[in-house]
Amino acid sequence: MFSSGYMLLAGAIMLVSMFVSNKLKSKFAHYSKLQLRNGLSGAEIAEKMLADHGIRDVEVIHVKGMLTDHYNPMKKTVNLSEGVFSQRNAAAAAVAAHEVGHAIQHAKGYKWLQMRSKLVPIVSIASKFSQWVIYGGIALMAGQGAGLGQNILIIGLIMFATGTLFSFITLPVEYDASNRALKWLRDKNMVSQEEFAGSQDALKWAARTYVVAALGSLATLLYFLKYLNRGRRN
């Protein structure tokens, strides 16, 4: 159904995504060997950062997996993975503080986080079906149902575009959380200069995974738009 151009685009996005993901894992493993001089675990870092910001209704809990850390605004929990919760290194400090950064955003009503939260129910549905709707529209356009296919393609593109929008809204949310984390780690002297540099580098590569996802989604959306323009010319 799709040209070699699409296969090259999908392959390029996948390769870049794999590179950044593997680089993040490598950085995390490297800075996991840099033990904190203050001896605090990731959970203790998170609890202290929450307390310093006057947030007392958020719980720090342990979750399974590797790099599965996240903040749950519905349950108000900072969820730290096995490599963060009980570990006492620069990588754990960075990730724990970053997730608390999201809790602070929530407490302060950070607008980009609010926008992203509103999109979650829509994107959770659209992301599952958008490409199938797009494929169906393109198939019909190639056959006898050009008009119907074009309408279906437009619906699919709108669904896909919501996911792309979500990816770009995620960028300021993630960068702001990292900035809050690094500022607190530095201002409260929670880490040494070397540990701070490690935390900063780890969060930098974590943020790049979101940048790649956003740009990849945009590139794919623009590619699919070609089919809509082609259909209108025909």
* Active site residue ranges: 99
Q: To the nearest 5 percent, what fractions of the chain are helix, strand and coil?
A: 75, 5, 20
Q: Scan for tokens 């307390």, then name that residue.
A: 51
Q: What sign does the dihedral 35-38-44-48 (CA atoms) show?
A: negative
66: three-class secondary structure by DSSP: coil
- Tell me if 25 sits within 8 A of 69, measured CB to CB: no
- Tell me if 180 sits within 8 A of 101, measured CB to CB: yes
Task: DSSP letter for 72, please.
Answer: E
